[in-house]
């Protein structure tokens, strides 16, 4: 039989998780097992954009030597970057995209599902 304290903790955790989903919080690698984490090119401060292309606004800049989780990928503006030239953009969070040419995926193609 489960103790009242343990049951309360489990219910609180489940409720908090559901609330984050409703509020649209960005998923993380630990909360979203389908996302795989990849390193950003060394020494690069990477622009995170609101959509898959250089014409979209910059929503933040990633610091050097970070890892990102890729939730899906989509075509966009062609970019020449650290790992070559590509039109693939990685969705790293809700409304957050980075050019795949700055992410060490080990592939020139798609490594996860297409967005959409």
- pLDDT tens for each residue of 17-44: 433 333 343 333 334 456 789 999 999 9
Which of the four pLDDT bands, split at 50, 70 and 90, describes residue 2? Answer: very low
Coil, strand or helix: which one is 95?
coil
Average pLDDT over residues 76-105: 98
Q: Per-residue pLDDT for 76 more than 60?
A: yes
Cβ neighbours, 10 Å, residue 44 = 17
Q: Rg for the chain (alpha carbons), in Å?
A: 17
* pLDDT (average), residues 54-62: 98
Angle, CA of 52, 58 and 63, to the nearest 5°: 105
């Amino acid at each position: 039989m489960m103790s009242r304290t343990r049951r309360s903790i489990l219910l609180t955790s489940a409720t908090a998780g559901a609330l984050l989903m409703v509020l649209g919080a960005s998923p993380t690698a630990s909360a979203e097992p389908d996302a795989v984490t990849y390193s950003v090119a060394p020494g690069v401060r990477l622009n995170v954009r609101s959509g898959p292309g250089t014409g979209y606004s910059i929503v933040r800049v990633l610091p050097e030597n970070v890892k990102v989780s890729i939730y899906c990928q989509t075509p966009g503006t062609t970019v020449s970057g650290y790992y070559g030239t590509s039109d693939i953009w990685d969705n790293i969070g809700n409304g957050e995209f980075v050019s795949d040419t700055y992410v060490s995926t080990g592939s020139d193609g798609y490594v996860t599902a297409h967005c959409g």
